[in-house]
A and B are shown apart, each in its own frame.
Chain A
Amino acid sequence: MLVFIDGLIDKDLVDRDIIRPLKSPYFDGNLNLVFKTVFEETRDVSKFVEFVLAGFTAVFYAGTKKVFLFEFRQWNQRSVDEPDAEAVIRGPKEGFTENIRSNTALIRRKLKNQRLVIEDKTLGRQTSTSVEIVYIEGIVNKRVLDEIRRRVDKIDTDMILESGDIEQYICENVFSPISGVGLTQKPDVAAAKMLEGRVAILVDGTPHVLTIPELFIENLHTAEDYYSRPVFAGAMRVLRCVALFITIFLPGISIAIATFHQEMVPVVFMTSIVVSALRTPMSLAAEVFVLMLMFELLREAGTRMPKAVGSAITIVGSLIIGEAAVSAGIVSEPMVIVVAITAVTSFMLPNLVEFTLIYRTVFWFLGSVMGLVGVGAGILVLLTQLASTDSFGIPILSSFSRQELKDSIIRARPNKMVFRPISIAKDNVRRRR
Chain B
Amino acid sequence: MNTKPVITSLQLLLIAVGSALVFPYTFMPILNSPPANQDVWIALIMAFVYILLLNTPVLILMNKFRGVSINQTCEIITGKIMGKIILIPFIIFTFICFTACMLITTVFLEMYVFDDAPSWALMLFMVVPAAYAAYKGAGTIARIANFIVPVVLFSIVLFFLFGLQYFDTQYLKPVLTDSIFLELNLGAFFTAARYSEILIFWVFSYYLVKKASINKTYAKALTTFGVAFMLILIPTVITLGMDYAKLVWNPYYAFTRQLEAFGFIERMQALNILSWFPMALLKLTIYIYMGSEVISGILKTKSHRPIVFPIVIAGYIMALMPFMNKTSTVDMLRSDEVFPFIIIPVVFIVPVIILAVYIIRKKKADAALKEALAAQPDENEQ
- Seen from chain A, the residues whose Cβ lies within 8 Å of a Cβ on chain B are 143, 253, 257, 260-261, 263-264, 266, 268, 370-377, 379-381, 383-384, 386-388, 390, 393, 395, 397-398, 400-402
Contacts and interface: CB of A to CB of B under 8 A. Distances in A.
A387 B270 contact: no
Contacts, number: 103
Nearest to A401: B8
Contacts of B140: 384, 387-388
B144 to A, nearest CB: 5
A390 B136 CA distance: 12
Contacts of B281: 376-377, 380
A395 B270 contact: no
B146 A400 contact: yes
Contacts of A261: 113, 270
B44 interface: no
Contact of B273 (A373, A383, A387): A373
For the complex of A and B, 3 pairs with smallest distance between CB atoms: A376-B277, A387-B143, A261-B270
A373 B265 contact: no
A57 B129 CA distance: 63
17 contacts: A257-B270, A260-B270, A263-B266, A264-B266, A371-B114, A372-B113, A377-B126, A377-B278, A380-B282, A381-B132, A383-B148, A388-B137, A393-B1, A395-B143, A398-B143, A401-B11, A402-B10
B267 A383 contact: no
A266 B265 contact: yes
A373 B113 contact: yes
A387 B277 contact: no
A95 to B, nearest CB: 34
A399 to B, nearest CB: 10
B268 interface: yes
A372 B273 contact: yes
B139 interface: yes
A268 B140 CA distance: 43
Nearest to A374: B125
B133 A260 contact: no
Contacts of B382: 143
Identify which of A143, A257, A386, A388 gathers the most chain B CB atoms within 10 Å of its CB. Answer: A388
A263 B267 contact: yes
A372 B382 CA distance: 41
B113 to A, nearest CB: 6
B8 A379 contact: no
A197 B44 CA distance: 49
A264 B267 contact: yes
A143 B274 CA distance: 40
Contacts of A372: 113, 270, 273-274, 277
A263 B148 CA distance: 25
Contacts of A381: 129, 132-133
A370 B128 CA distance: 14
